[in-house]
Structure 1
Amino acid sequence: MYTVLSSRRVFDGRAFSLRVDEVQMPDGRQASWEILGHTGGVAMVPLDVDDNVLMVRQYRHAAGVELLELPAGTVKPGEDYAVCAARELQEEVGLAAAQLELLGEFFLAPGYSSELMRVYLATGLTPASLPQDADESIAVERVPFRQAVRLAINGGLRDSKSIAGLLLAAHWRGQEK
């Protein structure tokens, strides 16, 4: 059994916190682990009536590049994941979804982060925009579903949540091959 002996908060920011946990491992050894605490995230696979995925192109400063991604966002403390998905879809692509179906969930980097990502299929799309976050500059691109899945498979996408989300959607649709 892993036992947390102590936990020290090092940083509290807008998007995450950093703590250092001193942990006793099952064999008696002790380890010091740095953990990024995160409230969670959502990504959406918005499919329009023409079988296009609405994706976003945006600059990601930590990566130092512009990336093509699924629309996504951070869950606010205490916020329901599906509520967050609906809000982020409106903020990032200007659409509301009549149906949000959970495709799956996964930890993005479980070696050092608590961030749980849930991916939703968004269908029945209608215009309904909310203002974008002040620190975002997003361009929306319509990508045919099959092409988006090929990008995920062949290295054309470099964002892990988008790759996983599109592969989950392809599996859901029976098009994983």
Structure 2
Amino acid sequence: MKNKQTHDHAHLQETQIDSTQVYRGKLLDVRFDRIQLPDGHESTREYVLHQGAVVIIPLLDSGELIFERQFRYPLGKAFLELPAGKIEPGEDILNTATRELLEETGHSASEWRYLGVMHPCIGYSNERIEIYLARGLQLESGQQLDHGEFLDVLNLSLDDALHAIRSGEITDGKTITALFWAEKVLSSGW
């Protein structure tokens, strides 16, 4: 499909002339590129390279979903989110999902269903977030949080989570997208 999209939309293609790494940190790689536009003119693009992440929709036997509340420094407040985490270099995405669910909630899952991918910041990043539904949850242990990671775990029904989106309590893009998938999978059999 990727080749078909590139071929079908070749008239929109931008071509890299050169690329400069502006900053490289533990999480982000910031680039400044000079590009050729489809009409032959030159322009520039600033963007962030990101290794990708997963978000998990953990469905308990009760029908409730496991959420977490975590402080997010760039916005200076705690957010209600689904469990998620970055993909380590070379790591299989299901392994990432399994690891993050256990670390952040203490749960394992006997059933994993891949739902899709989202690209949260297409205007300035190549970040992708892979979406999984986890069922057959079992509490294995307490949280095994990374150093410097602090979060609260709580359960919500799907209806309460959707209400939290409508009321503005949930504004995290990956969580909203994943809950869209959850609603369709759980109510419509997608």
TM-score tier after normalising by the smaller chain length? over 0.9
Over the aligned positions, Cα root-mean-square deviation in angstroms equals 1.5
2:184 is aligned, of 151, 154, 171, to 171
**Match of 2:98?**
86
**Match of 2:157?**
144
Matched, 1:96 2:116: no
Superposition deviation, residue 162 in structure 1: 0.5
1:64 is aligned, of 63, 72, 76, to 76
The equivalences for 1:99-110 within 5 A come to 99-110=111-122
Superposition deviation, residue 36 in structure 1: 0.6
**Match of 2:59?**
47
Cα distance per residue 1:50-109 (max 9 Å; x no partner): 111100001000111100100000001111111101100011111111111112211010
Cα distance per residue 1:16-67 (max 9 Å; x no partner): 2111111101011212111110010110010101111100001000111100
C-alpha contact (below 8 Å) 1:42/1:118 kept by paired residues: yes
Superposition deviation, residue 15 in structure 1: 1.1
Q: How far apart are the structure 2 equivalents of 1:50 and 1:11?
A: 46
Superposition deviation, residue 127 in structure 1: 1.9
Superposition deviation, residue 153 in structure 1: 3.7
Q: How far apart are the structure 1 equivalents of 2:140 and 2:26?
A: 26
The 3-state SS of whatever aligns with 1:151 is helix
Identity of aligned pairs, percent?
34
C-alpha contact (below 8 Å) 1:55/1:69 kept by paired residues: yes
**Match of 2:24?**
12
Structure 1 or 2: more strand by fraction: 1
Structure 1 or 2: more helix by fraction: 2
Alignment TM-score, normalising by the size of structure 1:
0.94
Superposition deviation, residue 174 in structure 1: 2.4
Q: Which amino acid aligns with 1:140?
A: V
Matched, 1:158 2:175: no
**Match of 1:28?**
40
Q: Which amino acid aligns with 2:170?
A: L
Q: May I ask how many residue pairs the two structures share in their alignment?
A: 176
1:120 is aligned, of 126, 132, 145, to 132
C-alpha contact (below 8 Å) 1:152/1:162 kept by paired residues: no
Q: Which amino acid aligns with 1:152?
A: I
Q: How far apart are the structure 2 equivalents of 1:97 and 1:152?
A: 26
Alignment TM-score, normalising by the size of structure 2:
0.88
Q: How far apart are the structure 2 equivalents of 1:161 and 1:135?
A: 22
Superposition deviation, residue 128 in structure 1: 2.7
